[in-house]
Every structure is written in C-alpha cells, then in structure tokens.
Structure 1
C-alpha cells in the first residue's frame, strides 16, 4: 500500500523547483546569459534571483527592489530597497526612481540583466501626471477589493505608471537587455508579469532577450513527479472567484477517486468594507472546509508559492473534513480567515520562499 503523502513536503518540492536562485543559476549554467554590466532585480524573489547572478558576476553593480522582510540574504555591495506589497508606499516611489536612475546610467554598448518576479507592480512605481501617492494607494486598494483578475489590474497599473509596460526599458541607451522572469500570471506573459516592468518597448533601440525561467506548470510537474501515489489531476484552473471555485472544486474532490490532485493558478476574492485578516488562499481553504465537512480521508493544502497570502505572515491553509464549524461562515463573510484558521491549527506558515509562481493546491483522497 503506498505511503500517504505529506502535502506540505510536496508543496515545498514544487516551490523549490522554481526557486529564484535555482532558476537563475540553471539559466546561467545553460549559457543563455552573457556577462552583464549591470544587474537589476525587482519583485518578491529579487534577492534570491540577484544572489544567483552575483555568484557568477560578483563585481557587477546590482540594484535589488523587494518586499519588506524579503532581503535577508543579498549579494555583498548590492543596493537594496524594500517596499510595500500589495499596496505601494513611499518606499515604492523611491524604488521606482532608483530603477529609472539605474537604467539611465547604463552606458552605450552595455548589457543590462533584468531579473523580474511577481510583486513588482506594487514594489516600484513612478506615477504619471499629477497622481499622488495617496491616490495611487486608494486606486490599488479598490482594485484589490474588487476581485479583478491580475491581468486587468496590471493593465490599469500600467496606464498610471511611468515605468510599467516597457516604459522603464525605453530609457535604456545601451546595446542589449536580457530579462529573466518568474511567472506569476496566467499565460506567462512578460507584459503582465510585474505589469511589464521588465518588458521592452514596442520598438526598442537595443537587442532584447526574454526568458520565462520558472512557472506554475514547472512547480506542479515537480509535485507530480514526487508524489508517492497516483496523480489524477494536474491543471492550472484556480482562476475563478473563491465563492464560485470552492463549491465546484469541493464537489469534484468529494467525489474523486483515491489519489493526488494538483491545481495551480490564482483565485480572486471580493473584499467587504473593512475586511479582516486573510488572503485568497486562506479564504479558499476555509470555503473548501465547508464544502468537504464530514468527508473522511480527504486533506487539502492551498498556499501561495511566495510564502505570503495577502497582507499576512501565512502562505495559506491546510484543511480536512474535520476543520469546518459554523462560525467559519462569519469569518468568510468578513474576509477574516486568518484568526479562524489559526485557532484550529489550519494555517500554513513558511516565510518568504524566494520565488513567486502563483498558488498551489494539493489534495489527497485516501
């Protein structure tokens, strides 16, 4: 009889397969990147990605822009700016101007290496026109509360930005740009990752080589290969609103044959006024707990691969058929899943992971 899988260990297997350090190291080792004259890393995985590049080119000037608490290990001598996510702050504007200065300082004939991961949309910004930081924050909070898909959100962000959608690299006067990106968006489009902060303008004056070096598909495949039981589902379909997704997914898993089911993507949540403490993965986990209440032999882990779910220190939730209680309905309505799950030992807390390829849901049916 096959061993019952450890869902958290499987999740880590997927995450480690797309780690920022490992993914950049693999790409450099493959010979896909020539020696750069400057390195810029921006996003939640920026520190890990820059560390890999600096291991090969330790003397190359390096700028890192990342989320607060995500820069514990950085290359010696690197300029590091930490800023807010998912809502930008004053440090985000400082970071955005630093990116402009770094790009504009590149000399003719130079090679710029851009390392991009999710979160860059909030972590670095220079707003257009007369938009104030307060107005930018308000717009961002409204977008987050609306439950809009990430592609729509990033298109709006680009329209308000002086550095998104190829506008940052339009300032580059060197000869060549290489962008290595970890994808945290459906379809793995460089124009959507970080709102296109590492994308080239439509008619660049330089040669441009982009590479998507890690994705949700790679993480899911690593989980599937490591599974000690049969993998019955492996799909990237977690893109609906949690209120629609949980009933459909819960019904499918209740009726499923024994084995492992792997899903990826990024669900959305519409937030109420004055939301509580939580994130999309915790909301989905709690909603699924209601759907599978009383089901024996079914365990579900759902967590963000970056290690943070919403503005919390949790990555997501681990639930089973015994998790649900009626008080969970109020927690769902108030978008306050974190304390509810914490009281029941249902939180998954990992800390920053050094990557960001959306979310993984791993379910085991005995």
Structure 2
C-alpha cells in the first residue's frame, strides 16, 4: 500500500466532506433555507458557499467577501471584495463598510441569507471610533506572535469592532436572517466564528435562524470513514501550544497500536521576534518529525482544511521517521519551517479548498 499517497487522499476526503458548496447545498436540500432576497458570504470559503446558494436562488443579490486568491468559485453575478488574512488591510475596511451599507439598505420584509466561514474576522472590519487600521494591524500581529487562542483573539476583535458580535445585523431592518456557518472554532459557537459577524444582536427585531452546516467533527468522521485501516483515535484535541502538543502526540503515537489517528483543532505557535516563513501546522509537523526520527512505518500529515497555513501557499506538511535532519533544528527555532520543508519535499500544497473547519492531523501507523 502506498501510504504516502493514501494519507493525502484521506485528508482530501475530509476536506471534500465539508466544502462550502457541499454544506450549503445540503442545508438547502434539507429545507433549512427559505428563498432569500439577499445573500452575503464572508470568509475563506465564501466563494464556494455563495456558488451553491446563488445556484439555488439565482434572483437574490449576492455580496462576497473573501481572501485574496480565494474568489475563483464565487458566482459570476456576485459582487466580490478580496482582502487580507490574517492581518487586515485597507481592503478589509472597504469590505466592512460595504457590509454595513448593504445590510442597512435592505428593506422591511426582506430575507437575508448570511454565509459565514473562518477568516471573516480579518477580511472585513469597521474599527470602533478612535481606532485606526494601524492599530488593528498592531493588535492582530501581537496576538498572532504570542500564540493567543482563537477565543481570546475574537473577544478582542469584537470589542474593537463595529460589525462583530452581532453588531452588523443590528442594522438589518428586514424580517428574517438565516445564517449558515462553517465552524473553525472549538465548540462550534456562532458567536466565535468570524468573531460573531453572522450572529444576531442580543434582542433582534427579526426572525433569526442559525445553522452550523460543517465542522471539524464532520471532516474527521469523513477521514475515518474513508480509512483503509482501523481507526485508533478520532478526537478534537489539537489545541494548545505546539511545544506542549509535540511530546504529547508523539507519546500517544509511540504507545498506541497500529492504525489511523485523526486529530482536529487549531494549535498555536509563539513566534520569535523576527520569524521566518511558516505556519502552525508546518511547525507542528516538523516538531513531530524530530520526535519520531529513525522510526519506520509512521507517517504524519498536519494541514489546514482551508489549504493555507500561516501567510504561505502551503496547507501544511507530511513527515515520517526519515524526514528530520539536524539542519531542521535551526528552521524550527526561527519559525522558518516552510523554507526547510519545501527544500526537503515535505509540503502539502492544495490551493484554496472552498472550506475552513480548522486543522487536521492524520497519522498512519503500520
């Protein structure tokens, strides 16, 4: 069995099960969505989500806000704004103002379909009074560098925003909002996904119908269902600092019987003052390569379901017992895992996947 090929295919099985278009089409087929007058899609998977919605409801207006390079799947009839992630830029402010203007313009009696996926926090923003774009960038960079968990980041983002935490929909004068969300957060809380940009205000004056239509659990279960070997572990425990996760995961793999291990979540990495090129998944994979160096019959893939890891074009990496070399120690310390893994042919590059339900770690032990 070609294990290297199979483990990548398993990752793709998980990703395909939670694609934005698949999840939205399924929700519509189940009758979760009445015919909307307007569609707004925000996040890394906004294009794919909007494509399914606009296919079902071609007469609805459609606004898509997504990450640079992620708009290929957006409907041709939609108005698309691309912006930066994970650090907001001028286009993020343009997107935030466009969302505010659109939502406040919708007439009484109308139905708005909100499609939300991870990444929305950075892609669209209207800062609170007195806060500049420079302030937002500095705040975001500090949180990223210190390895702050996503819940802490989104709490601060909500406090600094005029459109997060239900504030965007506070300006809606219509009759109904339906929100379909892909969850990239622990616990799948709508108030946390995209910092609550698709959530309702505390006392909405409209009917509100929220649905989580894809999650890390669904992706992991799809990987497990497609596995050609028995599944030894399937858990959403990939949270915390990678320096804590690396020895824990390596120990679990060493002690466990052969089979497939599927972990999900979103680890964090603390960056040095002048980091190199990389992301949390690449750093975790390279750290695990160090721990399993010299072993046979064990391969570990760590990758973001959205197809990107950090500010790079890679989703993550695939390592085994022969990957680690002493030259990797310096790359790991300098947070330059991408450069080293790229030179050693270990990166996973999928391009935008049309979804975002956090990260997957898949390990196959023969």
Contact 1:149/1:268 (CA < 8 Å) preserved in 2? yes
Alignment partner of 2:264: what SS?
A: strand
Q: Which residue of structure 2 aligns with residue 343 of structure 1? A: 343
4+ residue stretches of structure 1 with deviation over 3 A?
A: 2-5
Q: Residue deviations 1:241-268, cap 9 Å, x none?
A: 0011001101211222111010000000
Q: Which residue of structure 1 aligns with residue 183 of structure 2? A: 183
Question: What RMSD, in angstroms, separates the aligned Cα atoms of the two structures?
Answer: 0.9
Is the aligned partner of 1:140 residue 2:144?
no
In 2, distance between residues paired with 1:251 and 1:325?
20
Q: Which residue of structure 1 aligns with residue 87 of structure 2? A: 87
Q: Displacement of 1:59 after TM fit? A: 1.9
Q: Which residue of structure 1 aligns with residue 96 of structure 2? A: 96
Is the aligned partner of 1:199 residue 2:193?
no
Q: Which residue of structure 2 aligns with residue 283 of structure 1? A: 283
Contact 1:254/1:295 (CA < 8 Å) preserved in 2? no
Q: Residue deviations 1:270-290, cap 9 Å, x none?
A: 011111000000000000000
In 2, distance between residues paired with 1:318 and 1:73?
27
Contact 2:37/2:59 (CA < 8 Å) preserved in 1? no
Contact 2:67/2:85 (CA < 8 Å) preserved in 1? yes
Q: Which residue of structure 2 aligns with residue 31 of structure 1? A: 31
Q: Displacement of 1:3 after TM fit? A: 7.7
Alignment gaps of 5+ in structure 2: none
Contact 2:41/2:115 (CA < 8 Å) preserved in 1? yes
TM-score (normalised: structure 2): 0.99
Alignment of 1:57-72 (within 5 A): 57-72=57-72
Alignment gaps of 5+ in structure 1: none
In 1, distance between residues paired with 2:224 and 2:2?
15
In 2, distance between residues paired with 1:241 and 1:77?
43
Alignment of 1:193-272 (within 5 A): 193-272=193-272
Contact 2:301/2:317 (CA < 8 Å) preserved in 1? yes
In 2, distance between residues paired with 1:240 and 1:187?
15
Q: Residue deviations 1:150-186, cap 9 Å, x none?
A: 0000000000000000000000010100000000000
Q: Displacement of 1:105 after TM fit? A: 1.0
In 1, distance between residues paired with 2:175 and 2:27?
21
Contact 1:3/1:229 (CA < 8 Å) preserved in 2? no
In 2, distance between residues paired with 1:63 and 1:192?
22
In 2, distance between residues paired with 1:72 and 1:89?
21
Alignment of 1:104-143 (within 5 A): 104-143=104-143
Alignment partner of 1:221: what SS?
A: helix
In 2, distance between residues paired with 1:98 and 1:363?
43
Q: Which residue of structure 1 aligns with residue 8 of structure 2? A: 8
Q: Displacement of 1:76 after TM fit? A: 2.3
In 2, distance between residues paired with 1:312 and 1:3?
28
Q: Displacement of 1:41 after TM fit? A: 0.2
In 2, distance between residues paired with 1:104 and 1:37?
14
Contact 1:3/1:228 (CA < 8 Å) preserved in 2? no
In 2, distance between residues paired with 1:295 and 1:307?
28
Alignment partner of 1:240: what SS?
A: strand
In 1, distance between residues paired with 2:140 and 2:7?
34
In 2, distance between residues paired with 1:317 and 1:166?
36
Farther-moved stretch of structure 1 (68-77 vs 31-40): 68-77
Alignment partner of 1:34: what SS?
A: coil
Contact 1:281/1:303 (CA < 8 Å) preserved in 2? yes
Q: Residue deviations 1:270-313, cap 9 Å, x none?
A: 01111100000000000000010011100000100000000000
Farther-moved stretch of structure 1 (326-335 vs 86-95): 326-335
